[in-house]
Amino acid sequence: MNKDFPLQDFEKDDENSELYEHYRIVADKGQDLLRIDKFLLNRIENVSRNKIQQTAKAGNILVNGAEVKQNYKIKPNDVVTVVFSYPPRIVEIKPEAIPLNIVYEDKYIVIVNKQADLVVHPGHGNYDGTLLNALAYHFKKTGQQIENSYGYLAHRIDKDTTGLLLITKDELSQTVMARQFFNHTIERKYQALVWGDFEEESGTITGHIGRSLKDRKVMSVFPDGKFGKEAITHYRVLERFGYVTLVECQLETGRTHQIRAHMKHIGHPLFNDNWYGGDRIIKGTSFTKYKQFIDNCFQILPRQGLHAKSLGFKHPHTGEQLFFESDLPNDISTLLEKWRGYIQSRSFEG
């Protein structure tokens, strides 16, 4: 096997783990002319001819930077890049009548404004009651014939993160979207309430993100790049409350818990994020009155203060540029009003 392409040399976006994989292969100097589908079958383990055909149809196979079809013949020193989609392997999804806020739907895609406390897909400890169970019910109720009955996730957001999520209705559409996510041409903006104030109005956080070496359920930032995958988060201040700040975060990459881990890394954990230390007083005094105020805030927002506010992408079939925005959920909106009132009262007292 070419030393430029060990089997483990692929990039898998952590946020979209098992949703897509990227391979880069450099053909040998002595490579004989060979159809690219046969070439990939020889070079990549556990990939089917059908998967390669679908990936080529989606435009996700490139040679020297240009899209090619499955009958393209590989030549010496060709550089091949491939983005495969890999839907989660779920044996059975039981339709469940779980309320969904569907903001857009057509023949190929559906956009959901996800509520808090809703797991996206079944997994360990969450075998039902998920977004996919709700979609299976929605598709069945509306008489839609979906390939797998519940659709294909294009990306994920956490259980307690609210906001916009894209699901495709066929695997080809998911494959097309996989390339957009991998190339970072998807426009995703979040709003987050974080602890502390910022000296600057905007900034960029960099630093590889990977599983913590001490606690595998959380992610850590590795500035030296020895572990994890590259992660880039751009942020700007929207509103200041002295002790906490509302910021807008735009993702250039999509790692698991990226905003949560990056914000903790720079000393601004998300408000009430119990996995990353935001569920205690980080800024402010420990006086009884302030502590009671914060406890009331935690009761209003019993989760991390994070909302997927907007989502922009090219439609996987029409190529039309689409853009969606969602309002902040009631718990975050109510909390922001409470902070505004608190800051105003302190200003009046002063």
Catalytic residue numbers? 158
33: which DSSP letter? P
What is the distance between the alpha carbons of residues 185 and 195, in angstroms, rounded to a whole number?
A: 30
Q: Is 41 helix (H, G, I), strand (E, B) or coil?
A: helix
Q: What is the gyration radius of the CA atoms in the chain, in angstroms?
A: 23
**Maximum CA extent, the chain:** 81
What is the DSSP track for 300-333? Answer: H--S--EEEEEEEEE-TTT--EEEEE-PPPHHHH
CB-based contacts of 307, cutoff 8 Å, min separation 6: 161, 162, 163, 190, 191, 192, 326, 328, 329, 332
CB count in 10 Å sphere of residue 149 = 17
The first and second tokens of residue 20, run together, are 């897509």
Question: Helices (DSSP H) in the chain: which residue ranges?
Answer: 36-43, 49-57, 131-141, 171-182, 258-265, 288-300, 330-349
